[in-house]
Amino acid sequence: MIKFLDNKLFRCLSVFLFLNSSTLPVKSASALAAWELNANGVLELRTKSNTNLKAYFQKANQISGDRFWIDFPGELKNPRIIKGNGPVKEIRLGKPNKGKTRLVIEFKEDTYLQPFSWRLVGLDQNRWRIKLFNRKYTFKKISEGIVGKRLVNIKENQKFLHKKKNDFHYLKLPDVKRNKFLVVIDPGHGGPDPGAIGIGGIRETDVVLEVSKMVKNLLSEKGVKVKLTRKNEVDLDLPPRVSFANNTDADIFVSIHANASRGKRRDINGLETFYYRGWRGRLLAKKIQKQILRVSPGSPDRGVKQGRFYVVKNTRMPAVLVEVGFLTGRLDARRLEKTTHRKRLAYAIAKGILEYLYKIG
């Protein structure tokens, strides 16, 4: 993956391949029903149900700027070009070949993009979302059609949401004194260092960054102040992570990682949490370990252990390093690639942290 970034010959990066294969006859109309690129840089799509999408990114070359595109089955009627604004040069809808539709977003020259962190997420059977750039760019929404229209009726949808909520019911987060605590969350690795690479190319940096951000949101809702050592794919050494935590005078430090086994053995799975010293660190590790195990049934408990990791050894506050599973393990990897499981892990870690803060007062 590091080579990927530096390689000048690098052409296309498939940011995501999706899902059910429903083959439409060549003559059929485009599966793209509506799209909207919002002011916050989020592209939303509505398609026919269970559509197969492919998304790509290509670095700028002599002919054009950085480009992101998605291919849809079904043929577009009217190819068109829509003038962009802000970081977006233009948006093109075309048919790259017979029976296909392509939505291209071309960016202006000096736009800062992070295609390695992009994920095209399916919201339900016909809706999609991907964040392409951040708010620092002023952008006026461009859209065609209504992306919000749904196939499922509202009642059914509510049932669905309700069920989802219940899923986390047993994990109800404890309350702590608001505005009292400061937690530093440290998503492991980042930038040119992807950390462990697991089955199917799943990368530690992606998993732990997403989980960390979710933990931050959950704790923030409980009035706990949270600082992340990194918010995106940057190269961050270990000493600055430690000095960041020490300088902010955080109450606790939680480094989040995912494991890989030597020889990439698929039969090795499990969760473990490390601390270096003190009963507080150990207590925090125990609280977190207990919760992450609850959301990872069948994955072995590798225990709470003492470990001489740089970040837990050199931080001055109670500090732990959590390994949320093996990216090389068959059981763990399959889960870790899913947002639903990452959410559960985030709940679990947040719960462990809150239980600890509650106890410490």
Total interface residues for Zn ion by CB under 5 A? 3
Going 38 to 14 to 208 to 309, the CA torsion angle's sign is negative
Stretch that binds Zn ion, among 11-19, 121-129, 249-257, 343-351 (CB under 5 A): 249-257
Q: How far is the CB of 202 from Zn ion (least distance, A)?
A: 13
195 binds Zn ion (CB under 5 A): yes
Q: Given the complex with Zn ion, which of 188 and 270 has the nearer CB atom?
A: 188
Q: How far is the CB of 195 from Zn ion (least distance, A)?
A: 4
Stretch that binds Zn ion, among 34-42, 189-197, 299-307, 312-320 (CB under 5 A): 189-197
Which residues have a Cβ under 8 Å from the Cβ of 288 and sit 6 or more positions away? 254, 273, 320, 322, 348, 349, 352, 353, 356
Q: How far apart are CA 111 and CA 23, in angstroms?
A: 36
Stretch that binds Zn ion, among 68-76, 123-131, 217-225, 253-261 (CB under 5 A): 253-261
Contacts to Zn ion from residues 265-304, by CB under 5 A: none
Q: What stretches of 128-276 show up as alpha helix (H) in DSSP?
A: 154-167, 204-221, 238-248
Q: Given the complex with Zn ion, which of 36 and 186 has the nearer CB atom?
A: 186
Q: Given the complex with Zn ion, which of 106 and 186 has the nearer CB atom?
A: 186
Q: Given the complex with Zn ion, which of 107 and 274 has the nearer CB atom?
A: 274
Cβ pair 311, 186 in contact under 8 A: yes
Stretch that binds Zn ion, among 78-86, 92-100, 155-163, 188-196 (CB under 5 A): 188-196
Q: How far apart are CA 115 and CA 122, in angstroms?
A: 18
C-alpha distances in angstroms, 101 versus 4, 45, 74, 163? 28, 13, 6, 35
DSSP label at 97?
Answer: S
188 binds Zn ion (CB under 5 A): yes
Q: What stretches of the chain show up as alpha helix (H) in DSSP?
A: 2-6, 154-167, 204-221, 238-248, 279-294, 310-314, 330-336, 339-360
Nearest to 32 by CA among 46, 17, 49: 46
Q: How far is the CB of 155 from Zn ion (least distance, A)?
A: 44
318 binds Zn ion (CB under 5 A): no
Q: How far is the CB of 346 from Zn ion (least distance, A)?
A: 17
Q: Which residue is nearest to Zn ion (CB)?
A: 257
Q: How far apart are CA 122 and CA 191, in angstroms?
A: 25
Stretch that binds Zn ion, among 227-235, 252-260, 306-314, 348-356 (CB under 5 A): 252-260
Return residues touching Zn ion (CB under 5 A).
188, 195, 257
